[in-house]
Amino acid sequence: MYDLNSAYLCDMEVEFTFLGTGTSQGVPIIACECPVCSSLDARDQRLRSSVLVKVSGAAVVIDTGPDFRQQCLRAGVKELDAVVFTHEHKDHVAGLDDIRPFNFRSRRDMPVYATQRVQEALNREFKYIFESTYPGVPKVKLHTISTDAFDIHGTVWWPLPVHHHQLPVLGFRVGGFAYITDANQISEQALSRLVGVDVLVLNALRREPHLSHFTLEEAVEWAQRIGARQTYFTHISHQLGKHATVENELPEGIQLAYDGLTGMAFGKGCV
């Protein structure tokens, strides 16, 4: 069993790139003419939420939404060592088919880390991947995760149990970087694993209350409670407002993420 405070964990750097920071419909929304969807500020143009993490020589993506192909092309992603899923909603898994180029480049199956429930959904949604013998289908190797720590290429990942209304969802912490999307509750176990985190990513959907997502006000409260050096908000709706306007309202150390934003986090986490 891994322990965040274990002496054997070494110092490490985590590089992250926001591939997408939008909610399930993205921003702009089809046929919407609101000021945000009409904005010419590139930071207001958001693909579905996903993040690329590079740590200890491995490139790992958290969630492969409907825009995954476009995101990889835009970010120039050439290598991918694993996929980790937070939950099974379509805006987080729909792009799984686009791991095929990485199969072809690496000549190996793509390691996919997901809970048993998420794996069952993948089997339903991508039945051909798991049942077809056609040579062109994506090749995956499923790894079952739960709330216990696991490792990818020698780096420890800690699941962060949260709730998306009544649906259990996992966030993840690796080294000093933590990522939580699609949540409106954070468990005590997750909070204990967030102690000392350097960079926190948290969903902030809009200003008005929502059944299954944090509002901007709630996200700020959680960010201040957790106390990371830097917090970024993601999974953002057009209802939140223009990026430039919201940025001016946020406390020091808290920012809105935007597509293409990169950064570094520092902490312990390699085995």
Q: For residue 1, what pLDDT is reported?
A: 62
Q: Which residues have a Cβ under 8 Å from the Cβ of 154 and sit 6 or more positions away? A: 56, 270, 271
- At 59-74, the pLDDT tens digits run 999 999 999 999 999 9
pLDDT for res 133: 83
Q: Can you give the pLDDT at residue 270?
A: 73
The pLDDT > 90 percentage for the chain reads 92
**From CA 54, how far away is CA 82, in angstroms rounded?**
11
pLDDT at 271: 62
Does 104 score more than 90 pLDDT? yes
Angle at 220 between CA 171 and CA 234, to 5 degrees: 45
- Please write the tens of the pLDDT for every residue from 205-216: 999 999 999 999
Question: What is the C-alpha to C-alpha distance for residues 168 and 236, in angstroms, rounded to an integer?
Answer: 20
Q: Can you give the pLDDT at residue 183?
A: 96
Specify the range with the lowest mean pLDDT, choosing from 13-17, 62-66, 265-269. 265-269
Q: What is the pTM of this model?
A: 0.96
Q: Which of 61, 58, 59 is nearest to 19 (CA)?
A: 61
Helix, strand, coil fractions of the chain, as percent rounded to 5: 25, 35, 40
Q: Is 66 exposed, middle or buried (0-12, 13-18, 19+ CB in 10 A)?
A: buried
Tens of pLDDT along 105-129? 999 999 999 999 999 999 999 999 9
β-bridge partners, 144: 114
What pLDDT was estimated at residue 10? Answer: 77
Alpha carbons 192 and 147: distance in angstroms, whole number:
13
Query: For residue 265, what are the contacts with CB-CB under 8 A and spacing of at least 6?
Result: 13, 14, 16, 175, 176, 177, 197, 198, 199
Q: Is the pLDDT of residue 7 over 60?
A: no
Q: Which domains does the chain have, with CATH numbers?
A: 10-270 (3.60.15.10)
Q: Is the peptide bond before 35 cis (omega within 30 degrees of 0)?
A: no
Picking from 143, 196, 200, the residue whose alpha carbon sits closest to that of residue 16 is 200
